[in-house]
Structure 1
Amino acid sequence: MSTTSSTFVAADGDGYERLMGRWSRLLALPFLDFVGTADGDRILDVGCGTGHLAFAVARRTGAGEVRGVDIAQPYIEHARRHNEDARIVFEVADACALPFPAQSFDRVLSLLVLHFVPEAGKAIAEMRRVAKPGAVVGAAVWDARGGWVSNRLFFDTAAVLDPEAGERRARNYTRPLTRPGELARAWRDAGFKRVEETTLAIRMEFASFADYWAPFEGKDGPGAEYVATLDAAAHSRLRDAVEAAYLDGEADGARSYAALAWAVKGTAPA
């Protein structure tokens, strides 16, 4: 994976599902309520991951075609295996160099991706380039600092135990476009018209601590990337401390955490 185009560690489609796919499936619904859909649209999903936004679009509308692109080959392979809709096509591509002609799509969307693109302005410019005049272009990213409780539970606990984790926490909570108003400014700077920004909300439901912790034992995402650096003693110490934070003095079982995302939409100029 090109580190200039993504800082997200991507290794396995099933691992991504445990980490984020199950939540992007939920977030796709209020996101589509915000950006809108229309029958007959040709739609591009930039940074499609394992395909949940593309699948949601196809289920919701009579879209003419949905193209999903992601820089991670394992995620595209996973999306293809689970695709049963001939209107949807998944392919490997870089958000900063989209392989489509100018003015190709009626709607260009990106869900939970741009905050992992170091040169996000390039990706946004590409989204504008491939959008038809008047097309809706929209994106959403996590409010990592102020609205993502389950992620803070992990990184805040880790930061108490390890200064290196504190540095990683700072990087994760200050990613591009995650502060209030940043998405809207980026959209206006890119020349989009009728720019609107909002907050989207879902809840992340975990069946148990094992369900919550499992993604951190995988190979995908910032949390797992950090856990993989730990020796056995540090790993055990972190797991025990995070488990205590998850349990909050009560028996193991289901927990529900709020999760907020910033969202923006605008229209491509003529």
Structure 2
Amino acid sequence: MSRTPDAAPASGGLVFNDGAAYELMMGRWSAQVAQPFLDWLALPHGLDWLDAGCGNGAFTESLVLHGRPASVVGIDPSAAQLAFARQRPATAAVRFLQGDAQALPLDDDSVDAAVMALVLFFLPDPARGVREMARVVRPGGTVAAYHWDLAGGGFPLQPILDAVQAEGHATQQPPSAWAAALPASEDLWRQAGLVAVHSRRFEVSRRFDSFDDYWRSAQASPRLRDLFATLPPADLQRVSEGARRQAGIAGDGPIVLKATANAVQGRKP
């Protein structure tokens, strides 16, 4: 069975529509997780892969460079993100399709491995997304994902979010933040009929030239950008100063910040 995407795919979750901004904010963080994640999967070269919710191609590029696949299909609801992904030099042979991770436009049993990178908690129905990956994977194939450890404070922009909250402001939350916890992820994989399910955490770090460099990267986040546009300058300055304190940053020189991702994988019987 195959699925055909609607003319305007709508996952119901947050859709990013600026590939360059996403790269600055989150794509470079995702790339820090991608290689250790692929090493952990330890899958052979020459497989057919799906990158579900591929966004601007940050993980897709790492997969092509380090996983040596036979083929890759990248699917995302945002035409703008896909346009950015197609411009990456390493993704010239990738087949990018506009579509919904909860209704994949692929035949049953059509790939060897399906992956979601930083996507699961954005889906209104994560269970459906996992079932869709399981549907398109061939028997014996792998279904896997990584996502930020939101409950454990592992999100890369957590110092800023903590400062926002401390100042009494609110930001839009991912619709399914609960799914990012390891026990919840493992349950979703088992409920989809996958076996040999196991998980692990990855701690990664990223260097910024200064706190201001980090702060600028956060402006690309729709959840923060929309809030910051409504704040008076004095309020925004307090949030910035609070984020410095939350991150333990005192000076103006280069900084290294850490984030934690939860990963899960399972096999289709």
Q: TM-score, normalised by structure 1?
A: 0.88
Report SS of the residue matched to 1:177.
Answer: helix
Q: 1:57 and 1:75 mapped to 2: Cα distance?
A: 17
Count how many residue pairs are aligned between Structure 1 and Structure 2. Answer: 263
Whether contact under 8 Å (1:116, 1:176) holds in the other structure is no
In 2 relative to 1, CA 84–179 (structure 1 residues): closer, same or farther, beyond 3 Å?
closer
> Is there any run of 5+ residues in structure 2 with no aligned partner, and where?
1-6
Q: 2:8 and 2:235 mapped to 1: Cα distance?
A: 30
> Which amino acid letter does the alignment assign opposite residue 265 of structure 1?
Q
Q: RMSD value over aligned CA atoms?
A: 2.4
Listed as ranges, the matches of 1:126-145 within 5 Å are 126-145=132-151
Equivalent position of 1:181 in the other structure: 183
The structure 2 residue matched to 1:12, chosen from 9, 13, 18, is 18
Whether contact under 8 Å (1:4, 1:119) holds in the other structure is no
Q: Give the C-alpha shift of residue 85 in structure 1.
A: 4.3
Q: Give the C-alpha shift of residue 148 in structure 1.
A: 1.8
Q: Give the C-alpha shift of residue 114 in structure 1.
A: 0.6
Question: Which 10-residue stretch deviates more, 176-185 or 93-102?
Answer: 176-185
Q: Does 1:119 align with 2:125?
A: yes
> Which amino acid letter does the alignment assign opposite residue 185 of structure 2?
L
Equivalent position of 2:102 in the other structure: 96
Q: Does 1:107 align with 2:109?
A: no
Question: Which 10-residue stretch deviates more, 1-10 or 229-238?
Answer: 1-10
Equivalent position of 2:3 in the other structure: none
Q: 2:252 and 2:155 mapped to 1: Cα distance?
A: 18
Equivalent position of 2:202 in the other structure: 200
Q: Give the C-alpha shift of residue 40 in structure 1.
A: 1.9
Q: 1:242 and 1:109 mapped to 2: Cα distance?
A: 32
Whether contact under 8 Å (2:82, 2:98) holds in the other structure is yes
Q: Deviations over 1:9-52 (max 9, x none)?
A: 51311110111001111111111112233222110001111112
> Is there any run of 5+ residues in structure 1 with no aligned partner, and where?
none
Q: Give the C-alpha shift of residue 86 in structure 1.
A: 4.1
Q: 1:84 and 1:185 mapped to 2: Cα distance?
A: 34
In 2 relative to 1, CA 217–54 (structure 1 residues): closer, same or farther, beyond 3 Å?
closer
In 2 relative to 1, CA 33–84 (structure 1 residues): closer, same or farther, beyond 3 Å?
closer
Report SS of the residue matched to 2:142.
Answer: strand
Q: 1:177 and 1:144 mapped to 2: Cα distance?
A: 9
Q: Give the C-alpha shift of residue 2 in structure 1.
A: 7.8
Q: 1:50 and 1:71 mapped to 2: Cα distance?
A: 11
